[in-house]
Chains A and B, each alone.
Chain A
Amino acid sequence: MCGGNVIVERGWAIAVHGGAGVDPELPPERQEQAKQVLRRCLQLGSSALRAGGAAIDTDPTFNSGRGSALTSKGTVEMEASIMDGPRRRCGAVSGLTTVKNPISLARLVMDRSPHSYLAFDGAEEFAREQGVEVVENDYFITEENVGMLKLAKEANTILFDYRVPLAETCSKAAAAAAAEDGGGLQMMNGLPLSVYAQETVGCVVVDSQGRCAAATSTGGLMNKKSGRIGDSPIIGAGTYACGACAVSCTGEGEAILRGTLARDVAALMEYKGLSLQEAVDFVIKERLDEGMAGLIAVSGTGDVAYGFNCTGMFRGCASSDGFLDVGIWN
């Protein structure tokens, strides 16, 4: 590299995830289907990056909206956030019921409003002002998830009742009940994995100029209380990007929130000088206690990393040196 005012072109890298906490019994066709979607997303993102696109613009088309987890009322409430590393600008939305592409609205909050986070009716109103595509709420509802909701409600009736104060965390209580129930039932977020709708999606990118960006989008938790906000729209929890890295998380929202997972990866790099992989490993190992989660991350110097402490995480990574990999399990 010559000196002077040269912009050092580094390699770009991209990682995507389709949710952590995968049913070990997931049929092979479903696994293959998921891997194809991940591959396609990576290819879309990679093309944009190869063409010199900026990290913040590189967002492979997700359709996390349709098939979203349902609230206890049987409706869909979506949330998302996006963060642009270079100046740490951010945008987030919660409680969306008609916006077809939540992450795009989050971006508009970042780019076209004086705020960082808009929710519920106010966010829906902003969506209309901005002219984004809207649909009826039942567009997002699938037969499969209606079935899942029913199962989740049945599971919750056995495991815990929201009106009863919990002496321990929900994961613990549910695991204890499941253990009594005959053991071996894998739990996450208080639900058996078999009903767990792992459709949070996320993407992190570093472009050839070292600019990082992160985005996360979700329908949230199956059978959640209407109004429940998880980690996906929370800057520092589910999403974070700065000069050093970009991170997107998935899994038990409450664990990710209290662990400020995404920010902690960056803080370890920034304040303790850890590498991206070291920071990711530390956070997964030390910041989750009994919580289950996973994350993907890229660094400003072109590294890509991921980690998870649960049964699996749908993910894929690609980088400018030709590397491309998708996976589910360890």
Chain B
Amino acid sequence: MGWAIALHGGAGDIPLSLPPERREPREAGLRHCLDIGVAALKAGRPILDVVELVVRELENWPYFNAGRGSVLTTDGTVEMEACIMDGATMDCGAVSGLTTVVNPISLARVVMEKTPHIYLGFEGAEAFAKEQGLETADPSHFITPENVERLKQAKEAKAVQVDYTEPSNAEIENGGPLMESSGGTVGCVAADGLGGLAAATSTGGLVNKMAGRIGDTPVIGAGTYANSFCAVSATGIGEAIIRGTVARDVAAVMEFRGLSLKEAAAFVVERGPKRTTGLVAVSADGEVAMPYNTIGMFRACATQDGYSEVSIWN
């Protein structure tokens, strides 16, 4: 029992031979974000604040595929999306198609708290952000040289990449081969040990995606979900996560089959197509699960009993 927090920086075919200059900044980012999340929990911050502030940090960290450092669409632009959900009330907020909002997760939260809607996209979402006075930046702020290079490689390979540089083929149902690599979507789930649960996810999507493509992150029940049983944030190939209603199913399997969090999370991930799905989840009583069916997943977690972990592979 007690509080628990888990966060991820993306699942995918993260090569074991990942060079230190690519590995270390991400590990450092995970560690840093874990620390601030734990501090917020210990300070008794509301659970929604905890997941939002962790994801904001992950968005600001340019080595993850969210906020600054987002991967590029086929047009060389950035289109960001995010989603937040409160397990106790099941209130939620989601945004897609953002181009200038510095912290998409914060806009998702404002949609949840200040509109009668749940999900705003594209121009409408951008206009709302300006109305609400959220921090915005020129679209170029979000573009990093690494991602310009990734897009170039993806176009040369004529494929849509999750976000890394080690191409590998994973054909999925919904169309041609999708080049799969390390997904850098970020997410955070937390439980306060008093029934409070929240999930937050943010991403730039798939490298070389079509303009206007929406993935699993802002789809309630796919990439993000929280109810009284657990909070879940998923990462991987969005199209597979949507079809698999991954985040919702973890909670559903706990509720309808009586499985523990770990069992439910493992069940859902193993059931999906190989090399498409990873997730982090926490339960109301402080259990943590971080299963993935890809080669690796950038992740970190901590629980009130003092346990903490930052890892990439098994």
B210 A118 Cβ-Cβ under 8 A: yes
* Of A190, A227, A260, A268, the contact of B221 (CB 8 Å cutoff): A260
B116 A88 Cβ-Cβ under 8 A: no
The residue on B at minimum CB distance from A261 is: B221
A237 B256 Cβ-Cβ under 8 A: no
A113 CB, nearest partner CB in chain B, Å: 6
Interface residues of chain B: helix, strand, loop or mixed (majority): mixed
A225 B115 Cβ-Cβ under 8 A: yes
The residue on B at minimum CB distance from A224 is: B117
> Is B289 positioned at the interface, with any CB of A under 8 Å from its CB?
no
Given A110-B174, A114-B176, A170-B116, A119 and B124 contact (CB-CB distance below 8 Å)? no
A234 B210 Cβ-Cβ under 8 A: no
A148-185 interface mask toward B, CB cutoff 8 Å, 1 = contact, 0 = none?
00000000000010110110011000000000000000
- Chain A residue numbers with a CB within 8 Å of B125 are 227
A196-225 interface mask toward B, CB cutoff 8 Å, 1 = contact, 0 = none?
000000000000000000000000000011
> Is A271 positioned at the interface, with any CB of B under 8 Å from its CB?
yes
A307 to B267, CA, bound (A): 31
Given A112-B175, A122-B212, A227 and B243 contact (CB-CB distance below 8 Å)? no
A232 CB, nearest partner CB in chain B, Å: 11
B220 CB, nearest partner CB in chain A, Å: 5
> Is A101 positioned at the interface, with any CB of B under 8 Å from its CB?
no
A234 B220 Cβ-Cβ under 8 A: yes
- Chain B residue numbers with a CB within 8 Å of A92 are 214
The residue on A at minimum CB distance from B126 is: A227
B118 A120 Cβ-Cβ under 8 A: no
Number of interface residues of B (CB under 8 A): 53
A114 B128 Cβ-Cβ under 8 A: no
A89-107 interface mask toward B, CB cutoff 8 Å, 1 = contact, 0 = none?
1101011000000000000
- Chain B residue numbers with a CB within 8 Å of A165 are 113-114
B122 A120 Cβ-Cβ under 8 A: yes
> Is A116 positioned at the interface, with any CB of B under 8 Å from its CB?
yes
The interface-forming segment of B31-39, B88-96, B276-284 is: B88-96
> Is B119 positioned at the interface, with any CB of A under 8 Å from its CB?
yes
A271 B257 Cβ-Cβ under 8 A: yes
> Is B219 positioned at the interface, with any CB of A under 8 Å from its CB?
yes
* Most chain B CB neighbours (cut-off 10 Å) among A234, A253, A260: A260
Given A122-B212, A235-B222, A236-B221, A116 and B238 contact (CB-CB distance below 8 Å)? yes
* Most chain B CB neighbours (cut-off 10 Å) among A88, A90, A115, A166: A115
B212 A116 Cβ-Cβ under 8 A: no
> Is B178 positioned at the interface, with any CB of A under 8 Å from its CB?
yes
* Of A166, A257, A264, the contact of B118 (CB 8 Å cutoff): A257
B122 A95 Cβ-Cβ under 8 A: yes
The residue on B at minimum CB distance from A269 is: B256
- Chain B residue numbers with a CB within 8 Å of A234 are 119, 219-221
Chosen A-B contacts, 12 in total, with CB atoms closer than 8 Å, are: A124-B212, A125-B211, A226-B127, A227-B128, A228-B124, A237-B221, A240-B245, A263-B245, A267-B245, A267-B248, A271-B253, A271-B256
Enumerate the 3 nearest inter-chain pairs by beta-carbon distance, A residue then B residue, closest first: A227-B124, A122-B212, A271-B256
Beyond A88-B243, A116-B242, 5 additional pairs, beta carbon < 8 A? A121-B211, A229-B118, A260-B245, A263-B245, A271-B257
Binding site for A on B (CB under 8 A): 85, 90-92, 94, 96-97, 113-125, 127-128, 131, 160, 173-176, 178, 209-215, 219-222, 225, 238-239, 242-245, 248-249, 252-253, 256-257
